[in-house]
Amino acid sequence: MKKNSKIYIAGHRGLVGSAILKNMQDKGYTNIIYKTHDELDLINQLAVKEFFELEKPEYVILAAAKVGGIIANSVYRADFIYENLQIQNNVIYQSYLNNVRKLLFLGSSCIYPKNSPQPISEDCLLESSLEYTNEPYAIAKIAGIKMCESYNLQYGTNYISVMPTNLYGPNDNFDLETSHVLPALIRKIHLAKLLNEKKYDDVIRDLGVNNFTEAEEYLMKFGVSAEQVEIWGTGNPRREFLYSEDMADACIFLLEKKDFKDTYNKDDKEIKNTHINIGTGKDLSIKELSELVKEIIGYKGKLFFNTDKPDGTMLKLIDTQKLDNLGWKYRMELNKGIQQVYQWYLSK
Ligand code: GFB
């Protein structure tokens, strides 16, 4: 990949896409193209076809997807499967038709069976049943892996699929209804701290509501008060977190230095499970995570675990041996990463 190669980043405003764009600009890539959702709807087959025929990108990073936390996945099941299948079918197929030299497809560690042995290696894919709450999303992402793998095997393309663990960082979704756990904890605990310190104007500003009565109503729905903050589930599930800028770094490392042929063993009779896990190899419980966020924010109240809300998968630590062997390692430790995201959140 040359510094002036034409590179299309799909999803450049999202958590990972924005980190990839920043990383590539810092590294001196000069010919990066991207479109907002309004300019190009990736669900629209004809629009994607026209875009690829006009632009002819040489490299494609497919970081556009419909994503969300455990409840969003569980409620908007149809949207998660339909939109993700459409986006990836359109982009991968047009990449093939327009002779894209290399494509990077981003998935998620939720592709693995619910009860996978820990840490979860790439070979656990399709060994048993998925976690129910995110089954439609996971099936779409599995289809994306298989699509990349199948085009590589049938047509000799060079597509790489990466499966990150739970990600966090700047430009994340902080909407309490649809976000993942880390941005939700940061926002809920920050709001509770503001209430505790009687900074009511700041609460109104954060929520974008008209008055404090509206703010209180909204916060009650999410169990946020001056004295306590509601955390979903038992607090026992364990999760692994990777900083979005580390994820971006891993993606560019693979694009620059590795090819599809590096993702499997040459002696394998059946070429499968060619995707690559990206993570830190360390996890912690949601209870430990909540305590950590509480300490970083400096909130004095209590945490309350609402067991009416779902836990989801209990264990989801991924095995990063394959990526370790390819020569990449994460840098940002969780404690420092949360401090940075909290500062970013405050600055917005
Ligand atoms: O991040 P999260 O929504 O996604 O939830 P998953 C992780 C854990 O944190 C679950 C708990 O056990 C939640 O119940 N949790 C506690 C909370 N408080 C909160 C809160 O306020 N908000 C949220 N969102 N969670 C998603 C999948 O699973 O992970 C996706 O649904 C995707 O498909 C993504 O794979 C990375 O880790 O459970």
> Residue 72: exposed, middle, or buried by beta-carbon count in 10 A (0-12, 13-18, 19+)?
buried
Give pLDDT, residue 281: 95
The beta-strand segments (E) located in the chain are: 7-10, 32-33, 59-62, 102-106, 159-164, 166-168, 228-232, 238-239, 241-243, 276-278, 284-285, 302-306
Give pLDDT, residue 49: 98
Distance 132 CA to ligand 1 centre (A): 13
Give pLDDT, residue 344: 97
Distance 180 CA to ligand 1 centre (A): 5
Distance 227 CA to ligand 1 centre (A): 24
Give pLDDT, residue 155: 98
Residue nearest (by alpha carbon) to ligand 1 atom 11? 232
Residue nearest (by alpha carbon) to ligand 1 atom 6? 70
Please indicate whether residue 280, judged by its CB atom, sits closer than 6 Å to ligand 1: no
What ligand 1 atom has the least distance to the C-alpha of 138?
33
Distance 77 CA to ligand 1 centre (A): 15
Separation between Cα atoms, residue 238 and residue 35, nearest integer Å = 36
Indicate the domain borders of the chain.
7-171+239-283+314-332
What ligand 1 atom has the least distance to the C-alpha of 231?
18
Instruction: Report CA dihedral (106, 267, 100, 250) to the nearest 10 degrees.
Output: 40
What ligand 1 atom has the least distance to the C-alpha of 68?
30
Choosing from 29, 59, 137, 264, the catalytic residue is 137
- Is residue 137 part of the annotated active site? The answer reads yes
Please indicate whether residue 85, judged by its CB atom, sits closer than 6 Å to ligand 1: no
SS3 148: helix
Give pLDDT, residue 216: 95
Q: Which two tokens stand for residue 296?
A: 């970083």
Distance 55 CA to ligand 1 centre (A): 37
Separation between Cα atoms, residue 61 and residue 123, nearest integer Å = 24
> Model-level pTM greater than 0.85?
yes
DSSP 249-284: HHHHHHHHH--GGGGS-TT-SS-----EEE--S--E
Please indicate whether residue 110, judged by its CB atom, sits closer than 6 Å to ligand 1: yes
All residue ranges of the chain with pLDDT < 70 are none
Please indicate whether residue 311, judged by its CB atom, sits closer than 6 Å to ligand 1: yes
Residue nearest (by alpha carbon) to ligand 1 atom 8? 181
CB atoms within 10 A of CB 333: 12
Q: Which fold has domain 7-171+239-283+314-332?
A: Rossmann fold (3.40.50)
Does residue 239 have a known ligand-binding role? Answer: yes
Distance 233 CA to ligand 1 centre (A): 10
Give the residue among 64, 61, 65, 93 at the shortest CA–CA distance from 80: 65
What ligand 1 atom has the least distance to the C-alpha of 311?
12
Contact 286/236 with Cβ under 8 angstroms?
A: yes
Give pLDDT, residue 297: 98
Give pLDDT, residue 166: 97
Does residue 164 have a known ligand-binding role? Answer: yes
What ligand 1 atom has the least distance to the C-alpha of 188?
21
Please indicate whether residue 231, judged by its CB atom, sits closer than 6 Å to ligand 1: yes
- 277 phi and psi angles, rounded to 5 deg: -70, 140
Give the residue among 280, 305, 307 at the shortest CA–CA distance from 290: 305
Does residue 11 have a known ligand-binding role? Answer: yes
Does residue 284 have a known ligand-binding role? Answer: no
SS3 168: strand
